């Protein structure tokens, strides 16, 4: 087994560098955000072909305009209860680790411009918390948005991910 390489959560000095545009989406009642620069497109849920011997959070693969891409169920990845797909359930296709990957979310919210002073470091939340998936928390007018370190959430070519 290879050793997993991860992108560390930001130090307090780096939090200001996170400011910018984020695509926000919901899983249940929680709103998450990921840097818009990683977003390739948003598509409807399409049936995936299951792959043998893959982690439970990997739904399978789909053919997206001639490219085979893996699909990750974020609810499963985050240990959230599974729910039936609704009319707003969709796949956000992101580009990380030099390839496209789809992530299934309950629904997309909006693109927001988050200022540096609205982003709180997750470093002060306690050492017992597993924070490898998080960049920080944005304190916005309409509530908190959990900013994801999407590079750590998604599998690399070798199948390793942060937290596995």
Residues 6+ apart with CB under 8 A from 34: 22, 23, 25, 92, 94, 147, 148, 150
Residue 107: pLDDT above 60? yes
**Can you give the pLDDT at residue 130?**
61
Residue 109: pLDDT above 50? yes
Return the percentage of the chain with pLDDT > 90, whole number: 63
Residue 12: pLDDT above 90? no
Structure tokens, 38: 């990683």
Residue 5: pLDDT above 60? no
Mean pLDDT, all residues of the chain: 84
Question: Domain ranges in the chain?
Answer: 12-153
In this prediction, residues 75-88 reach a mean pLDDT of 94
Lowest mean pLDDT among 31-40, 78-87, 130-139: 130-139
| CA atoms within 13 Å, Cβ hemisphere of 132 | 15
Structure tokens, 148: 């994801």
Q: Measured between alpha carbons, how far is 23 from 44 in angstroms, rounded to an integer?
A: 16
**Can you give the pLDDT at residue 57?**
93
**Can you give the pLDDT at residue 126?**
56
pLDDT digits (tens, 9 = 90+) for 121-148: 776 555 555 678 888 899 998 889 999 9
Q: Does domain 12-153 have CATH number 2.130.10.10?
A: no
């Amino acid at each position: 087994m290879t050793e997993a390489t991860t992108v560390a959560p930001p130090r307090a000095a780096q939090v200001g560098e996170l400011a910018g545009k984020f695509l926000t989406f919901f899983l249940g009642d929680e709103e998450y955000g990921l840097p818009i620069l990683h977003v390739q497109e948003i598509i409807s849920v399409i049936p995936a072909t299951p792959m043998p011997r893959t982690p439970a959070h990997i739904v399978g693969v789909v053919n997206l305009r001639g490219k085979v891409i893996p699909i990750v169920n974020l609810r499963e990845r985050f240990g959230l209860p599974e729910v039936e797909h609704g009319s707003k359930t969709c796949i956000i296709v992101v580009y990380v680790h030099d390839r496209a990957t789809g992530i299934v979310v309950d629904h997309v919210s909006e693109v927001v411009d988050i200022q540096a002073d609205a982003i709180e470091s997750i470093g002060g939340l306690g050492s017992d918390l597993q924070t490898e998936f998080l960049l920080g928390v944005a304190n916005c007018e309409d509530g908190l948005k959990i900013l994801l370190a999407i590079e750590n959430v998604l599998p690399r070519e070798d199948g390793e991910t942060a937290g596995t």
